[in-house]
Structure 1
Amino acid sequence: MLDLENIYKNESVEDILLHFAPRTPYPVIDRMFVRYKFEVISEGKLLQTFQRLIWEGKLVENENPLPEKGPNWKEPDFVTQKRYGIE
């Protein structure tokens, strides 16, 4: 089982988006930041980071509600190191 609280509290906004955005709708990610790290929302960092990742080609928007992994996408370290219960 994923330890979502510690992922959202300890990892960077960019890494969280790189891992969750291709599989989780943006409003759900937003809600998790509201719950565990509200300053990301209140300072506008979530939307800014999401837009930057699209501009950098790490995520690609399409006609589907979820973005796809872009040509510059790289798996975050917390995923490759299998932290927080990631398998």
Structure 2
Amino acid sequence: YGGGGRAEEWQGEDWSVRPVSGASAAGKRYRCPGCDQEIPSGVPHLVAWPQYGGIDDRRHWHKACWNAKDRRTTRVQRSRNAPRY
């Protein structure tokens, strides 16, 4: 995942946040929980998870979406049969 991890507080929880370089994301696609759009393979982004969460709690975010997470109103709801990355 690359270096430079940091801790942030969000929604009353401590979160671990790490940058993911484009090279380490090559061949993988993720769905950003902030905008519900796909993060294409090879695109630098962030991975964030609650400090006391497990590996299944990790979520991959666009950098801009993570930075704007407090300005978003309601959660984007994915359609029932949309892929989940």
| Bigger proportion of residues as strand | 2
**TM-score band, normalised by the shorter chain?**
under 0.3
Q: Which has the higher contact order (CA 8 A, sep 6+)?
A: 1
Query: Given the two structures, how large is their TM-score scaled by the length of structure 1?
Result: 0.27
